[in-house]
Each structure stands twice: as C-alpha cells, then as structure tokens.
Structure 1
Amino acid sequence: MSLPHALLTSLVERPASGLDLARRFDSSIGFFWAASHQQIYRELARMEAAGWIRSEEGEGRGGRKVHHVLPEGVVELRRWVALGGEVPPARDALLVRLRADAALGPLALADQLHHRRALHEARLAAYEVIAERDFGGEPDRQARIQRVILEAGIITERAWAQWCQDAIEALADADPTPERPGTSSP
C-alpha cells in the first residue's frame, strides 16, 4: 500500500485540507496506515503535480487549501485496487530479540513483552470503544465495510496481546540453556 492511495481514498470519502487529512490519519486511517503530517503534505503536492487532485483555497480563517480528487485520481485508485497485493512480511525487532534470546540464552525480555502486551491491550480497548460508539443499529454498506476493517484491528490486537502473554510464559518456563553455538565454556 502506498500513502497516495490512502490519501486518495480519504479524499474520495470527503474533500479535506491537509490538516483535516492529518487529523483523519491520527484518528482512523492511522490505525492501519501511519503517516506524519509532513509526509501527508509532501504527498499531496506530488498528487497534485500528477493530476490526481486539485487544491482550492478554503473558506474561513487561514485559507487552508481544500483538496478534491480529480477523475485521474479515481482512475489511479481503481487501478491500484485492482492490483491486489501480497501479505507483507513481518518486520518486528521484538521477534528478532526473541530469536536472539533463544540462541544466546535469557536476555531479560519479559519487561519488553509486558510493555508490548499493554500497548496492544490499550489499542484493543480503543477499537472496542469505537465499535460500540460508531457501529450500532442497522449499518449501510459503507458502515459495514468500515466495521469489517475495524474488526481486523480488533482481531489483530487481541491476537498480539495473547501472543505477548504466550511469549512471556515461554520465557518464564525456559530452562537455562546449555552452551550455545558461538559461545565457549570456561
């Protein structure tokens, strides 16, 4: 996935200023595609140069530019959606640290795992609040799709929190390891 396609999707939903887009990323899209405010503004300029969006001066204080998707942007978004995609490989330093613990012996990773579990549990709680707040009643198609996206986050965070607990227990149960490759006995 790429940032321009996340931005195009957000702008198809509703034209917005760069600040409004950054706020959307902070509160919703950012749960599954993170971008800094600076990255968003840089990408908006590239998208305008590519003819995917146009900007016009907004009303009110500050005269923020409001960005609108052009037909070429819709064509690009449809092209990108049609490509599909592969499951990205995990890139997580904690997994490498655990592998190092397995290879070298105990490396005191329990605190990192407890912290990670707490982060996943906090994000899970936030997602559950959103689900309760935003998805009651009879949803239309758009709301059902947004709920499915949120459900992916709920499932993911629940699984990661459980995985952290399992890893904590595996570290606690580990017997001191005999000599490892690359180490020498005294």
Structure 2
Amino acid sequence: MSTPHAILIALLEKPSSGYDLARRFDRAIGYFWHATHQQIYRELGRMVEAGWVAVAEEEAAAAPRKKVYCVLPVGREEVRRWARETPLGRDDRNAFLLKLRADAVVGPLGLGDELLRLIEENRARLVLYREIEMRDFGAASLTRGQQLQYAILKAGIRAHETWLEWAEDVAPLLNL
C-alpha cells in the first residue's frame, strides 16, 4: 500500500544508508512489508526530492563515503498524516502493522477506532466462515476435493481467530 511510508517509518527508527535500510527490510520489516532494494533506492530519491528526507555523506575509514538518509520534519508529519487519514480495507492487516510501527515512533496516532473497525470486520468474516463450514462441510465423509476446500477454509478460520486474539492483546496499548 505505501512503501514510501514504510521507508519513512524505518528511517524514523534509525537514520540509515540505502544499503543498511535494504538489509533491515530483508531481516525485519520485510516480514510484514516487502520492498525490493530497487524500490527502496527509487523511493529514497523521490523522498529527497519531496523534501521528506535529507541525505548526508558520512566519512568511513576504509570505505567510500556513505549516504545516510534521515527524516525531516515534513516527512515526520507525512507519516502522521498517512497513519491518521489512510483508510484500510478488510485485507490491509499488514498496513495496520505499519501504522502501529509509526505509532511507536512518532507517538500516539489515535489508531484505536481503526483497530475496533478491523476487529468487527474480522469477527464478521469469521462468522461467515463458520457458517460456510457448517453448511458445506458438515457431512460425515468428504471427497478429497472437499477435504482440500475445507482445509483452505480452516486456514482462513485460524488466521482470523489468531488475528482477533492478537488484536485483544494490542487493544490496551491503544487505550481500548
């Protein structure tokens, strides 16, 4: 949804060179927000042009100069704006994780209402999945094809149950 915002948040956490930032995406951020090295470098250039980040050259002992990117106040405000104003769809859970990361870096962003909305949407989807389960997979014996379809449905059920359990843990952190 917003690779530039993921990059801004990562830079707010720690100013970095493009190379170091790409490594952080490979090792940590990329587990919930993927960006290729090429995307990262392209977005860094755009963010410098937009005035969201500044770049400084750092002297290194035995290596060439390293460009280190840091977020400017305008970039910090853009993260706040994005986190507060960008609506998420039902399948944008990873973008919500990114918003939580922004909340951790730039302070409370008032994400409680959004979490409540996502909880309701996930509960509704779970109810629907349970109805499908009872309607379509209640027979004593299922064909192989039906078993595979049921396995897919169970994956969705488990994903929503796990997400809802996680949301209960996060709610108090957002003063809910």
Give how far 1:87 is off: 2.5
**Structure 1 partner of 2:21:** 21
Deviations along 1:79-123, whole A, 9 cap, x unmatched? 001114223559xxxxxxxxxxxxxxxxxxxxxxxxxxxxxxxxx
Task: Establish whether residue 45 from structure 1 lines up as the match of residue 45 from structure 2.
Answer: yes
Distance in 2, Cα, partners of 1:37 & 1:49: 19
**Structure 2 partner of 1:82:** 84
Match of 2:71 among 61, 69, 72: 69
Distance in 2, Cα, partners of 1:21 & 1:46: 15
Give how far 1:58 is off: 1.7
Cα RMSD after superposing both structures: 2.7
SS at match of 1:86: coil
Distance in 2, Cα, partners of 1:42 & 1:174: 46
> Structure 1 segments of 4 or more deviating over 2 A?
87-90, 170-175
**Structure 2 partner of 1:152:** none
**Structure 2 partner of 1:172:** 144
Give how far 1:36 is off: 0.6
Q: Say which one has the larger Rg.
A: 1
Within 5 Å, which residues of 2 pair with 1:125-144?
Answer: none
Distance in 1, Cα, partners of 2:143 & 2:58: 56
Give how far 1:22 is off: 0.3
- Normalised by the length of structure 1, the TM-score is 0.48
Distance in 1, Cα, partners of 2:143 & 2:54: 54
Count the aligned residue pairs: 100
Q: What are structure 2's unaligned runs of at least 5 residues?
A: 93-103, 106-141, 148-176
**Structure 2 partner of 1:166:** none
Distance in 2, Cα, partners of 1:51 & 1:86: 26
1:172 maps to amino acid = R
Give how far 1:71 is off: 0.6
Distance in 2, Cα, partners of 1:86 & 1:23: 27
**Structure 2 partner of 1:111:** none
Distance in 2, Cα, partners of 1:83 & 1:16: 27
Q: What are structure 1's unaligned runs of at least 5 residues?
A: 91-140, 143-169, 176-186
Give how far 1:33 is off: 1.0
Q: 1:77 to 1:171 in 2, by over 3 A?
A: farther
Distance in 2, Cα, partners of 1:78 & 1:174: 47
